[in-house]
Structure 1
């Protein structure tokens, strides 16, 4: 119940700390003793003898603290004149001014303020001298302090101001002084309580009246929603309650009303006043509890309960959990109150949302007298409650034998399963003597013996077995009491007793698990020792799984190894004839122990001859593979997430060092990966060094021809690469695509690794051109990715400055991807004249303006064409790169009349892609013949209205015919047949007016003076020349097209 107002006000700093802690003059130095004796002459004499005026005692108090506490102004003046610090702080940061205020000595306070004492000094509770004065009724001290303060609403650590402390102390003059000086009467502390809350709770009625008269909010709420009325009701201050009610405070406000609080606190007089003033006796709070519920549970609420019942409270109203007031009385065993409720109509068998009646509740909490009352009044002892339990179940479950005896007296027969959860032999004997069926099953098919065995209840187990309980009875899952006893962490006496009385350790459950499996899984060494000697345990336990469908066909050894139970594993391996058994996934026992990093388990298994060469079924990993893989995966998180990191490396060392025949360090998995390769993948440097020292082959290849060095180059593991090179790993080894580790280091931008590999490669074979199967070098890869630092490393070696290999040069690679910085670096080294597709083509394709300008500055041939006759301008026009086209036309003066192998100009290519509107090609044309030959036909044929409009606005004529004699209008026809029909229809229409030949700025031999005759002559509309390829230029620069010359494949994907 959230009725915490009273206790929360009493806790914490309800008032200022006690600042009058005693000094002990008989224990202090002579100066302090003289101060407490008020002997000014002695003090003066000691000061004259150079006594330390700022000496500290054990609590770091100075002599001036003592003088301020005594209040002797003359002695204080002597100390200050001799150099005493007026702002010295003791161990709780109290200054002499705090001490003087606590002593209510206004003369001492005035002296300290005149001598420079800090009026706003705070102690460890953030309380100032004003807080202390307000709490200790030191009005004149407060007056002196207020003259030095600019803010009298300073809050201490609990958020309370001086007014809070004054209201709590109940000193009316102090409250008036602070209010007259402007104190905020609505100030709230950290629990959002105002000064009126403090005064109401402590019964200071005059302070409450004063605050209300100064316009304090009499209904203000704290953080929990409690008002001053709640506070007064909690502490039983009837006068304040009456005053607040007279002033119009709402008695039914908030979830817990003032009546709730009064009934819970047992304040009968307050409850009477509230009821008389109209408080709702049936008002529920947030949880649905009424004042009657709280009166039923309260320690001192008996009178309040009678009051409520007599004033019409509903005795059967239920909370949100379905609990009635009688349930609440049953929880705490309120015998008298339960009788009152029953006599006034309380329902005996009312059930809560869990199905429990008051009798269930009384049985659970062991209230025998209340059980008698309920049973006398007809409570149903056979009603089922939570989990289908009877009241007797709950009494037995919680071990209340007296309640058990009382409930058994009703003559009802019960199951005794619940009595096994706690070892209450007395309850068990009571049940057995009453004729209870000891083999009766619960909903899971378990008997009392199952529960006794599972909970390790030895005495109950002995009693049940002696009474004839079946020791081999399985439950619905096929588990016998022996299974549960084997899994129990309790002492093995229960298991031993079951075995001595015929329990069969060979019985398996529905999944094929025996008691040995359970003992192994839970690591119960003693239980394993008891059952393992009875038969050839392990072979039977494992082989039994072959006859039973199981989703987890594992042996007891697997279970113990998987959980790290090395002691249990030792017992099992000493009994087992074979320790290399594998589960359905092909994992051996050693595999699981190595995977989890259980060094002690690995040690036990190796000592029994477990093999390190057994593979699993999925990846063909050995225990060494899986150990290295797990170590690599956990490296980044080892210290944060792996609680037992010690021993993870020990597992690997033990397996390698154990000396089994066969090459453990070079065994390959399904993909041909060795343990060294897996260690490189995880960047586990220590593991790499260890494997290399133990004979791992650094140049071993997987099924793709990749070595450990390839992996290190891809992933950038510098230390691992260095270790491999130190052990003579070849930097020139090639995978199935002909790529060396240098190719991958250059592609990934690992500069330091690349430099190391280059040095190793040059030392091995300086003449190696480092070409892969597609004739690409590491320089191509570095340029393609734009790794300028890698380019610097590679260009230091003359190996790459040659014209052999792929004609698509590193410069092409750089320009194609817009890496102008890399291109500039390459141009400083490149002296070749590029044939076919030049770097200028690549820059135009990539729309890399900076790269384009760079190539042009280095003298690139502007009108050079590739094998399909395309110039750089045509490439840019085909891709719609208007910025590139503008540079090539305006600055480089590219030739617009060049034709490719399909007789397309740059304008044709732009028209075919609807680029004409923004393409500078059209705006730069002044040759009408060029416009009239075919661009308009292309635009019309492709349905590009915007392009047609742009061409017409620049002078293109609709009467132009192509080499087949077709006009642009007929070019719009979707096929030849439609074009023929359209030509016939147009030929019957009125001819167009003859156009003045002079109106045309130029004449073309293809313009017919008689369109009608022309149409009749050339009914075939289809052009004879091949259309533009759908992908633009033949052999164009398509980044993503499969098989393109530029197609640098992705890096190693492992």
Structure 2
């Protein structure tokens, strides 16, 4: 490197990076890094973002270059070998995040604490689990990385793995957790069979603390598993002691999320647990039945109604005085409305004055309107037959109107209802669940 001075190799660009920074990111065999180090390049110098050449080598996966940089003076301070938290991601975090196992191993060899936390409170195990880097997860667990450490969002590595849908990482974390607690592993990998036979892991406070840990919004790993649509993760967590009855800050359990998304397998698995209450209410007074009906998930609704039982659906009023039938009709879900009527034992349509009939008419749902009228006529006929009336089959319009809805201002249809009335539905109804609870 004739003509190259110390000032040349230490000169920085507009981002505060030296030539060594760029070599660390691109040099796969380490030769360029070695030449720059021989000319006095400074491996511990930070760029404007706070990263050194060590950070970039760890993130890029270039093992030869990282090994050279780790042998330099001051490397231990840069990699975060001392302390339990750093101001930004350390090289260890970057290697785990990008799945560079060889670099991760070399970095751990220099560190006193492999559970070092970054600027967001995440450990390398959080990052590896959240990215699905199973080999890095297993390596960190072998080095006794903390499984129960939570980041600034209140999430553990198990939260991270489950939220991203990484089944193998979640399984590895749970297996290691059982081993550390000296609990016997599961007898079989057939999760559905284990749950059906109630052969779940023996619960203890330490296991419960991890499996049922709530994050900053009150969400457990089980809730996150339901949200990402993984029935396998739901089963995995249930057999490891996840409790379906826990609710988040809005009062919504895992069953709420499964009902809103139409996750049939997850709903069936949750309902098989004694801790699962299909009639649990959120802060808006809604149940999972309301959500399934509003979203039009008829199979899920069928499972919920079977668990609830006939007749109990009639009194499910939310804070707006609306039943699941209101929501099914308001969103035009005829099959759900029909199923709800089959499970109803009421002679009248319960709830607020803005009845299911009003909801169907207002939204222009003719199928739901026809269904309600046909059902009401059938109910009126049955009532007349019970009274042994001779004109039972000649039901009058007044009888029909009395059953279908409570008249508003003396009218059957909502012609006298303010057009702003259904805005109550829009402001706090099922629309908010369209993007997830």
Aligned residues: 385
| Aligned positions of 1:475-486 closer than 5 A | 475-476=12-13, 483=21, 486=24
Matched, 1:577 2:112: yes
Which residue pairs with 1:562 in the alignment? Answer: 97
Which residue pairs with 1:652 in the alignment? Answer: 170
In 1, Cα distance between equivalents of 2:138 and 2:316:
48
**TM superposition score normalised by structure 2:** 0.74
Decide whether the 8 Å contact of 1:779 with 1:800 is kept in 2. Answer: no
Which residue pairs with 1:628 in the alignment? Answer: 162
| Deviation readout 1:313-364 (Å, 9 max, x if unpaired) | xxxxxxxxxxxxxxxxxxxxxxxxxxxxxxxxxxxxxxxxxxxxxxxxxxxx
**CA offset at residue 1049 of structure 1?**
5.6
Which residue pairs with 1:740 in the alignment? Answer: 287
Residue 264 of structure 2: which of 713, 718, 723 is its match?
718
CA 1:597 to 1:858, structure 2 compared with 1: closer, same or farther past 3 Å?
same
Which residue pairs with 1:597 in the alignment? Answer: 132
Decide whether the 8 Å contact of 1:769 with 1:800 is kept in 2. Answer: no
Higher relative contact order (CA 8 A, sep 6+): 2
Decide whether the 8 Å contact of 1:656 with 1:664 is kept in 2. Answer: no
| Aligned positions of 1:944-955 closer than 5 A | none
CA 1:506 to 1:1046, structure 2 compared with 1: closer, same or farther past 3 Å?
closer
| Aligned positions of 1:380-391 closer than 5 A | none
**TM superposition score normalised by structure 1:** 0.33
Decide whether the 8 Å contact of 2:332 with 2:360 is kept in 1. Answer: yes
| Aligned positions of 1:270-419 closer than 5 A | none
Matched, 1:806 2:341: no
| Deviation readout 1:617-649 (Å, 9 max, x if unpaired) | 4x4433333333333xxxxxxxxxxxxxxxx43
CA 1:795 to 1:481, structure 2 compared with 1: closer, same or farther past 3 Å?
closer
Which residue pairs with 2:278 in the alignment? Answer: 731
Which residue pairs with 1:307 in the alignment? Answer: none
In 2, Cα distance between equivalents of 1:1048 and 1:555:
45
CA 1:479 to 1:750, structure 2 compared with 1: closer, same or farther past 3 Å?
closer
**CA offset at residue 493 of structure 1?**
5.7
Decide whether the 8 Å contact of 2:401 with 2:412 is kept in 1. Answer: no
Decide whether the 8 Å contact of 1:746 with 1:781 is kept in 2. Answer: yes
Match of 2:315, SS state, is coil
**CA offset at residue 747 of structure 1?**
1.3
Matched, 1:537 2:75: yes
**CA offset at residue 496 of structure 1?**
5.6
In 1, Cα distance between equivalents of 2:333 and 2:406:
29
Structure 2: state its 5+ residue gaps.
181-205, 381-394
**CA offset at residue 712 of structure 1?**
1.2
Which residue pairs with 1:696 in the alignment? Answer: 242
Which residue pairs with 1:1009 in the alignment? Answer: none
In 1, Cα distance between equivalents of 2:89 and 2:214:
25
In 1, Cα distance between equivalents of 2:36 and 2:425:
78
Structure 1: state its 5+ residue gaps.
1-419, 421-431, 451-472, 545-549, 632-647, 834-853, 877-1032
CA 1:538 to 1:597, structure 2 compared with 1: closer, same or farther past 3 Å?
farther
Which residue pairs with 1:709 in the alignment? Answer: 255
Decide whether the 8 Å contact of 2:349 with 2:356 is kept in 1. Answer: no
**CA offset at residue 705 of structure 1?**
0.8
CA 1:589 to 1:525, structure 2 compared with 1: closer, same or farther past 3 Å?
same
Decide whether the 8 Å contact of 1:539 with 1:576 is kept in 2. Answer: no
Decide whether the 8 Å contact of 1:1039 with 1:1046 is kept in 2. Answer: no
In 2, Cα distance between equivalents of 1:575 and 1:620:
28
CA 1:812 to 1:496, structure 2 compared with 1: closer, same or farther past 3 Å?
closer
In 1, Cα distance between equivalents of 2:248 and 2:90:
34
Which residue pairs with 1:1037 in the alignment? Answer: 418
Which residue pairs with 1:489 in the alignment? Answer: 27
Which residue pairs with 1:329 in the alignment? Answer: none
Structure of higher CA gyration radius: 1
Decide whether the 8 Å contact of 2:121 with 2:150 is kept in 1. Answer: yes
In 1, Cα distance between equivalents of 2:168 and 2:430:
40
Match of 2:93, SS state, is helix
